Structure 1
């Protein structure tokens, strides 16, 4: 009660009902929330990956090349030829 007058439930403050408001709803059984989602996902994924492939492939290729070179160089330095080549470094 506010000032001795009951104002109604929350949101209904005692004003007259509004008229001329149309409310439309769609049954949940009529909605197709995932209509075409799988089809769009395949093509959007391909489009996005192909657009960014250059930005991923070049650094990955460079990192793999550096890793492979380091691994081979390490194996060569552990070999007899590597020890002979770097014997005067110590």
Structure 2
């Protein structure tokens, strides 16, 4: 705390130390950036990739359920025919 500074070294960027050399900083103007560049293109293919990776978990059970429902409806319709009632009487 020499000189009565009480720990204050200077304003930000001028802390009293040696000047830094060899550090280059680049920045891009916000007007030059394209935040939505390729957003629709990437959204389409990303959605396709995600849906296709999960399709097996949806398609297989749906197909199985559809097959079971169709088979059950056909069996029920058969049991309400004359031959179906006769077959059901033989089973009971």
Report TM bin, short chain.
0.5 to 0.7
What stretches of structure 1 of length at least 5 have no aligned partner?
Answer: 1-17
Distance in 2 between residues matched to 1:75 and 1:36, nearest whole Å: 55
- Counterpart among 59, 64, 68 of residue 66 in structure 1: 68
- Report what 2:59 is aligned to: 57
Q: How many residues align?
A: 73
Structure with larger Rg: 2
Distance in 2 between residues matched to 1:81 and 1:67, nearest whole Å: 22
Distance in 2 between residues matched to 1:75 and 1:30, nearest whole Å: 69
**TM value normalised by structure 1:** 0.60
Q: CA RMSD in A?
A: 2.7
Task: Show the 5 A alignment for 1:1-80.
Answer: 19-20=12-13, 32-80=34-82
Segments of 4+ moved more than 4 angstroms: none
